[in-house]
């Protein structure tokens, strides 16, 4: 019986205690470790269709060149004389982004055309309100006028003078 007890004691000392390192290997065979996230293999499933379409649309939008188009140059040339001119709003336009006067009606107010945003870096963009107009609003009880921008169509204002 002493030999079986000695054999049991020998096998008990041969088994190593569990590792205290940060990587646990309790489910993996000895000598194998869990791969890091950067070295993990990529998913073998193809990307969803919408992601592929979005990638193609980005490549087309970035790669298309319409800067040589005469329409874009003519559009910029037609809008250039209006920049810096004093204008009066003639259409019933209501803006809600002025914090001091929410729901402000712009009809009859005057401002200056600051920028034409229908063409950007030589390419036409889909700006439905392409003229950026800077307007100053005098409010009761304030010394300084409130300054804000409104984007307008060409039909919504008329030119009243130069600045």
Structural domain range at position 111: 70-162
Predicted pLDDT at 92:
94
Q: Which residue has 């100053």 as its token pair?
A: 136
Does residue 118 sit within a domain? Answer: yes
Angle at 124 between CA 71 and CA 158, to 5 degrees: 80
Over residues 7-66, the pLDDT tens digits come to 555 555 555 555 555 554 456 666 666 665 555 556 676 666 666 666 666 665 555 554
Predicted pLDDT at 144:
93
Does residue 103 sit within a domain? Answer: yes
Residue 122 CB partners (closer than 8 Å, separation 6+): 66, 67, 72
Does residue 142 sit within a domain? Answer: yes
Does residue 78 sit within a domain? Answer: yes
Selection from 163, 103, 100 nearest residue 133 by Cα: 163
The stretch 104-110 carries a mean pLDDT of 95
Query: pTM for the full model?
Result: 0.56
Which CATH number does the domain housing residue 107 bear?
Answer: 2.30.30.50
Does residue 155 sit within a domain? Answer: yes
Q: Which residue has 């229908």 as its token pair?
A: 118
Regarding predicted confidence, which is higher, 124 or 160?
160
């Amino acid at each position: 019986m002493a030999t079986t007890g000695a054999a049991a004691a020998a096998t008990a000392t041969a088994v190593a205690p569990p590792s205290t390192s940060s990587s646990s290997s309790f489910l993996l065979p000895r000598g194998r470790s869990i791969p890091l996230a950067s070295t993990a293999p990529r998913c073998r499933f193809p990307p969803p269709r919408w992601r592929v379409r979005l990638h193609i649309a980005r490549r087309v939008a970035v790669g298309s060149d319409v800067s040589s188009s005469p329409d874009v140059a003519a559009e910029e040339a037609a809008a250039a004389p209006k920049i810096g001119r004093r204008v009066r709003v003639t259409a019933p336009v209501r803006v809600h982004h002025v914090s001091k006067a929410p729901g402000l009606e712009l009809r009859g107010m005057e401002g200056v055309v600051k920028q034409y945003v229908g063409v950007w870096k030589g390419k036409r963009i889909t700006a439905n309100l392409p003229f950026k107009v800077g307007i100053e609003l005098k409010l009761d009880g304030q010394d300084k006028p409130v300054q804000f921008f409104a984007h307008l169509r060409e039909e919504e204002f008329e030119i009243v003078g130069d600045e």
